[in-house]
Structure 1
Amino acid sequence: MTKGLQWLVGLAIVATLAGCSVGTLQPDAAPAAVPGASPQRELGPLTGSLSHPKSKWVPVPWSELPGFSEDALHEGWVAMVANCARPNAAFAPLCREVRQLALAETEEQREWMQQRLQPYRVESLAGGQSEGKLTSYYEPVFDASRRPTATHTVPLYQAPAGLVARRPWYTRQEIDTLPQAQAALRGREIAWLADPIDVLMLHIQGSGRLRITEADGSQRTVRVAFAATNEQPYKSVQQWLVSQGATKVSLWPEDTKLWAAQNPQRLSQLLWSNPRYVFFREEPLSETDAASGPVGAQGVPLTAGRSIAVDRESIPYGTPVWLASPGPVVPLAKLVVAQDTGSAIVGAVRADYFAGTGAEAGRLAARMNQPLRLWVLWPK
């Protein structure tokens, strides 16, 4: 990014978010601020370890963070500023400074982080394991029709009336086969897609964009965001394919479609292997919205390459995190922010990396499954 372009991006961020009120998450989403922390940059009188329901945070010097001096922090600052639209209680007092630094040089941002934040290595409570797993997700884009056609026959639904949180509703198989389940969803269709695997992919990713052909023939792009689930357990379709002897398996839909084309009589079995079903809400997609990802569990838009999903019992939403992974798909050492969660993202050192929107991001997300280390960057 050129200096001029960086300045324009920063100016746009400040103009957009400077007027946002600073809210806070619930107390259980934010650990207490570190007591007695001093403004040292390297080893000094560091505080003791912090414990959370699923992780332990161990204070370390900045020199432990691989690649910290090389990261283009101004790119990650977009997520830092977005974070301040709904920060956790510990980070909220820093948000004025974070917004002001949106126009700063990378080195000034790096200096601020070292002065105001303390890195903590994230470890498991049992055994102190500091290496975990990094996967990735993305926002898919599919063609859709506002009404069913000869080619677009698979509906995408809003949540049915009477759905109750934490109370199991019909499974995916029952939704496809039981008249009472289908009656409950009648009239709740958002749009129709041509391929059931594309719908399944939207359910797995939790959000996406639709290029919709309206009833009058006009076209527009909308976002479909996560609204609710049927409260059934998530089961991996990829693991099911492996158990069936599939040799090429990934989250990339083309691999799954290839298997389905070779085994058309088993398509229903493939779909029903995951009983979890996701319901969506439609959101307009302005030009500003289109430049960012969907809203994550924290309640702010995700930033491609700079937002991660975490287990909130290990890392609270709104926490800046230093992420390091050696590959093999792509080596990473960068500033990210914990802004989302997922049913499969469980454990102390576990993260899902938001790769962005569209096919290229989907290819990256499908391939990523690699070692991970995390450091939370907590206010002093």
Structure 2
Amino acid sequence: MFKSQSRRALPLAAALFTALLTACGGGSATREAPAATCPTTPTSATTSAPPSCPLCPQCGAAAGSQVPAAKPLQAARWNELPGWGDDDLAAAWPTFLLSCRALVSRPQWPQWKSVCEEAKGLASPSTAAVRRFFESRLQPWLLTNADGTTSGLITGYYEPLLRGSRTRGKPYLQPVLGVPADLLTIDLASVLPDLKNMRLRGRLEGHRVVPYFSRSEITNREKDSADRALLWVDDPVELFFLQVQGSGRVKLADGSTTRLAYADQNGHPYQSIGRVLVDRGELTLEQASMQGIKQWARANPTRVNELLNANPSYVFFREQPLKGNGSVGTDGPEGPSGALGVPLTPERSIAVDPKHVALGTPVFLSTSQPESATPLRRLVLAQDAGGAIRGAVRADLFWGFGAAAGAQAGRMKQSGQMWLLLPPGAAPK
């Protein structure tokens, strides 16, 4: 329903469903999908959806196709998890304790309460102790797509650093916008429970609710939105990738540093500009990484706006004070907050589709290093979500802050498998 209206608006919200599907967005998204292109086969495990609401927009995969349902989880043994015995599990323990903050508050999963309360009593356990803890209290379940396959796309994201100012003036001419006052969020879950993870965005046009402005419309109306600019930055491409990542830091002209966090989105589906360049024949699939797109932009400065506007999605931000000094070139403060509401941990936090993986869940991830066959197998925690992270076996690994993390995240387009680690009785029936 409309957040600002009474329950009498519920029938109206249901009626608006069809009209606003073109402005559909992820219900709990805090960030968009990375610029990486998708595999040929979409990884979404949803068996059906409204035909105008893409499940994997960056793939161009139309929803609505019926796929035979498979069991979403397959019981597994610990010795079936490749690399389980080699991971430094103690390094993931603090991240697991952060997840426990949310897990213990879920009445539908009382099994987590005793597990997390016991975990809090273990002070700095060794890797061997962590392994014994998990193996004695949790059970691994292999995550499975609707078509019965067990592999999916694993990408990466990071927290970038931009240059900016609190006032507009060369070279700081690109506005970072806060949430517009006319953006409506429509929740249909109380009318259509199957859509509990979907929120629609729109705006009023007279007495009609219509989709919110697209990226090109927002950028063309820049003068009308200047009063909502939180900051001004110096590079439209870096601003675009800030929206893709969902959060980032800005080094201001006065020498201070601040953080920008995801606040909302215009509701339009995400379109990978890497895929656009591939389809146009201007980049190969291998070149369509974040780094490759930036190189293309530097070589084609007069065509940058046209390319960016090919993605109609637009992200709005809020400013979030940094804890710690936030100094550039140091570890700085803790990571940005994810959809779970806890700080993300580099290389131990992932973004998932909450329709398939509950936020907070421990996940054992088996994939490979970016552009490599070198195994990357480790315990991670589902602590974030993304507007285009869709499907069961689908994850986005958080690499951390800065250029080195960005280099890894921008090149990561790997295949992988995921095992959920759940207490007995917590697995879906």
With the length of structure 2 as denominator, give the TM-score of the two structures: 0.71
Partner of 2:159: 139
**Does residue 115 in structure 1 map to residue 159 in structure 2?**
no
Question: What SS does the aligned partner of 1:187 have?
Answer: helix
Greater CA drift, 168-177 or 79-88: 79-88
Correspondent of 2:182 among 152, 158, 162: 162
Partner of 2:10: none
Correspondent of 2:407 among 339, 354, 363: 363
Hey, what's the Cα distance between the residues in 1 that align with 2:268 and 2:243? 13
**Alpha-carbon offset, residue 54 of structure 1:** 8.6
Greater CA drift, 234-243 or 258-267: 258-267
Q: Percentage identity across aligned positions?
A: 39
Give CA deviations for 1:20-54 in whole Å, capped at 9, x if unaligned.
Answer: xxxxxx9xxxxxxxxxxxxxxxxxxxxxxxxxx99
**Alpha-carbon offset, residue 225 of structure 1:** 0.2
**Alpha-carbon offset, residue 288 of structure 1:** 8.4
Whichever residue aligns with residue 305 of structure 1, its letter is E
Hey, what's the Cα distance between the residues in 2 that align with 1:220 and 1:242? 39
**Alpha-carbon offset, residue 85 of structure 1:** 2.2
- 1:123-272 equivalences in 2 (<5 Å): 123-126=144-147, 128-165=148-185, 166=200, 167=202, 168-178=211-221, 182-183=223-224, 185-213=225-253, 218-247=254-283, 249-252=287-290, 254-272=291-309
**Structural RMSD (CA):** 2.0
Give CA deviations for 1:154-183 in whole Å, capped at 9, x if unaligned.
Answer: 0101111121121231111111223xx642
Asked if the contact 2:173–2:233 (Cα under 8 Å) also holds between the matched residues in 1, the reply is yes
Whichever residue aligns with residue 349 of structure 1, its letter is V
Question: Do the aligned partners of residues 250 and 268 (structure 1) sit closer, same or farther apart at CA in structure 2, a change above 3 Å counting?
Answer: same
Partner of 1:305: 347
Partner of 2:51: none
Partner of 1:79: 95
Partner of 2:311: 274
Asked if the contact 1:158–1:190 (Cα under 8 Å) also holds between the matched residues in 2, the reply is yes
Question: Do the aligned partners of residues 139 and 116 (structure 1) sit closer, same or farther apart at CA in structure 2, a change above 3 Å counting?
Answer: same
Asked if the contact 1:251–1:365 (Cα under 8 Å) also holds between the matched residues in 2, the reply is no
- 1:16-95 equivalences in 2 (<5 Å): 56-87=72-103, 89=106, 90=109, 91-95=112-116
**Alpha-carbon offset, residue 276 of structure 1:** 0.6
**Alpha-carbon offset, residue 370 of structure 1:** 1.0
Give CA deviations for 1:211-243 in whole Å, capped at 9, x if unaligned.
Answer: 112xxxx32111100000111111101111112
**Alpha-carbon offset, residue 282 of structure 1:** 0.2
Give CA deviations for 1:127-179 in whole Å, capped at 9, x if unaligned.
Answer: x211111111111111111111221110101111121121231111111223x
**Alpha-carbon offset, residue 100 of structure 1:** 2.4
**Alpha-carbon offset, residue 109 of structure 1:** 0.9
Q: How many residues align?
A: 320
Hey, what's the Cα distance between the residues in 2 that align with 1:376 and 1:246? 40
Whichever residue aligns with residue 103 of structure 1, its letter is S
Asked if the contact 1:317–1:339 (Cα under 8 Å) also holds between the matched residues in 2, the reply is yes
Give CA deviations for 1:41-85 in whole Å, capped at 9, x if unaligned.
Answer: xxxxxxxxxxxx996111111110111111111111121011122
Give CA deviations for 1:81-129 in whole Å, capped at 9, x if unaligned.
Answer: 1112222633233222222224111111110101000011111233x21
Hey, what's the Cα distance between the residues in 1 that align with 2:340 and 2:161? 23
Q: Which has the higher contact order (CA 8 A, sep 6+)?
A: 2
Hey, what's the Cα distance between the residues in 2 that align with 1:251 and 1:294? 23
**Alpha-carbon offset, residue 269 of structure 1:** 1.0
Correspondent of 1:293 among 320, 335, 340: 335
With the length of structure 1 as denominator, give the TM-score of the two structures: 0.80
Question: Do the aligned partners of residues 125 and 176 (structure 1) sit closer, same or farther apart at CA in structure 2, a change above 3 Å counting?
Answer: closer
Asked if the contact 2:82–2:366 (Cα under 8 Å) also holds between the matched residues in 1, the reply is yes
Asked if the contact 2:258–2:321 (Cα under 8 Å) also holds between the matched residues in 1, the reply is yes
Asked if the contact 1:250–1:367 (Cα under 8 Å) also holds between the matched residues in 2, the reply is no
Question: Do the aligned partners of residues 283 and 307 (structure 1) sit closer, same or farther apart at CA in structure 2, a change above 3 Å counting?
Answer: same
Hey, what's the Cα distance between the residues in 1 that align with 2:74 and 2:395? 18
Hey, what's the Cα distance between the residues in 2 that align with 1:194 and 1:353? 28
Asked if the contact 1:81–1:102 (Cα under 8 Å) also holds between the matched residues in 2, the reply is no
**Alpha-carbon offset, residue 287 of structure 1:** 1.4
Structure 1 unaligned runs (5+)? 1-25, 27-52
Structure 2 unaligned runs (5+)? 1-27, 29-68, 186-199, 203-210, 327-331, 425-429
Whichever residue aligns with residue 220 of structure 2, its letter is T
Question: What SS does the aligned partner of 1:103 have?
Answer: coil
Asked if the contact 1:203–1:277 (Cα under 8 Å) also holds between the matched residues in 2, the reply is yes
Correspondent of 1:331 among 360, 375, 379: 375
